[in-house]
Structure formats: structure tokens, C-alpha cells
């Protein structure tokens, strides 16, 4: 297979370390890169993004095979990793760089993202409005190498961070009734 058959999906779900594991073992996901997008400064550093001066979000960019996993499936995984009602960040991480967003790469992705957001809003799972933005994809800058596959390079620190962040508790509270 050639890369021409693959597509991109870009999601901002707070800390990018936590957004890699849910996608990485999915059939049809080819590659996941942690990085920065949605801002105005070319090639930002982690420190610049965290300082809030670049306008970027921490995000993951997923290369996937649409014949093996659909964009709708990726959207479902995304929604189940975040608090879509929090406009100020995600869990332990606060600030604009930790806001949630779906960055669409074409009109079909935009429409599917809008439909999935509306369905989530109507589901009644959350008692506050869904504030996750749906935005056009913009340049994506890979994060520094030490951020790539952080959960594999630093498993103990990652587990402590993840536990302390409150993300897993939130996911369990809102999605356990689905058996997930």
C-alpha cells in the first residue's frame, strides 16, 4: 500500500501524551505524532506553547488507513478521551494549549465532526454544553522527540501523571455504562 491511500486525522485532547495510547493499537492506525497546531508561530517549542504565546494546541496527528478504520471510529475514540465541556484545558492541565479541538482536513471530516459533536450533545452524557471546537487543519509541527511515545519511554512517570490528572476517573464515570 502507498501513502496516497492513507488519510490524516488531527485531534487536540489536552496533554498529547494521553492521546496516543487510545489510538495506537487500533487496526488501521499507521502512525501517531504528538505536536502543536492551530497557532500562529512556525515551529514552536514546548516551552513556547506552554507559555501560551503561540496560540497552538497540544495535539496528535494520526495517519490512518480509511479502508481499515473509519474517521467516525476515530472520532468516537477521541470523544471518549476528553472532557468536551471544559473550555479551560483538560483535567490537571490548564490553559489554552490544553483545550480540545478537532482539526478537519477536508469537508467530509468537517461534516462528520459536526454530526458527532451534535450526537454527543444530544446524548445527555454531559450536563454542560460541548465546547470542543471544530477547526480547519493548519500547519502541524511535531513535538520534540522526548514527547513522542512518552508513555513507552517513561512508563512509570506516565502512569503517575495519568493517575494524578483525573482523566481516567472522568472517563470511567462518563463512559462505564457503555461497557468501555
Topology, domain 3-178: 3.30.1060
The band of 4, judged by pLDDT with boundaries at 50, 70 and 90, is: low
- Confidence check: pLDDT of 178 > 80: no
pLDDT in tens, 141-152: 999 999 999 999
| Cell numbers at 135, concatenated | 477547526
Rounded to 10 degrees, what is the CA torsion of 138, 144, 30, 74? -50
Neighbours of 135 (CB within 10 A): 17
Cα distance between residue 160 and residue 7, in whole Å: 33
* Residues 33 and 60 sit within 8 Å (Cβ to Cβ): yes
Choosing from 7, 9, 11, 15, the catalytic residue is: 15
Domain range list for the chain = 3-178
Q: What is the pLDDT of residue 177?
A: 60
Backbone phi and psi for residue 64, each to the nearest 5 degrees, phi listed first: -140, 160
For residue 132, give the nearest of 168, 79, 92, 80 by alpha carbon.
79
Q: What is the pLDDT of residue 179?
A: 46
Q: What is the pLDDT of residue 107?
A: 98
Lowest mean pLDDT among 2-11, 60-69, 134-143: 2-11
Q: What percent of the chain has pLDDT over 70?
A: 96
pLDDT in tens, 11-38: 999 999 999 999 998 999 999 999 999 9
18 catalytically annotated: no
Neighbours of 91 (CB within 10 A): 20
Q: What is the pLDDT of residue 1?
A: 45
Amino acid at each position: 500500500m502507498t501513502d496516497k491511500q492513507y488519510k490524516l486525522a488531527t485531534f487536540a485532547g489536552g496533554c498529547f501524551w494521553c492521546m496516543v495510547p487510545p489510538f495506537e493499537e487500533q487496526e488501521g492506525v499507521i502512525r501517531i505524532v504528538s505536536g502543536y497546531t492551530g497557532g500562529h508561530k512556525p515551529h514552536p517549542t514546548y516551552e513556547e506553547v506552554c507559555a501560551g504565546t503561540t496560540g497552538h494546541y497540544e495535539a496528535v496527528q494520526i495517519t490512518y488507513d480509511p479502508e481499515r478504520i473509519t474517521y467516525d471510529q476515530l472520532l468516537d475514540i477521541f470523544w471518549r478521551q476528553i472532557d468536551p465541556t471544559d473550555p479551560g484545558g483538560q483535567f490537571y492541565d490548564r490553559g489554552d494549549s490544553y483545550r480540545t479541538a478537532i482539526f478537519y482536513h477536508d469537508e467530509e471530516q468537517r461534516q462528520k465532526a459536526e454530526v458527532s459533536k451534535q450526537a454527543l450533545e444530544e446524548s445527555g452524557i454531559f450536563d454542560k454544553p460541548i465546547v470542543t471546537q471544530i477547526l480547519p487543519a493548519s500547519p502541524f509541527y511535531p513535538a520534540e522527540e522526548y514527547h513522542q511515545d512518552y508513555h513507552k519511554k517513561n512508563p512509570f512517570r506516565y502512569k503517575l501523571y495519568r493517575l494524578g490528572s483525573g482523566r481516567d476517573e472522568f472517563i470511567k464515570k462518563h463512559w462505564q455504562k457503555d461497557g468501555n
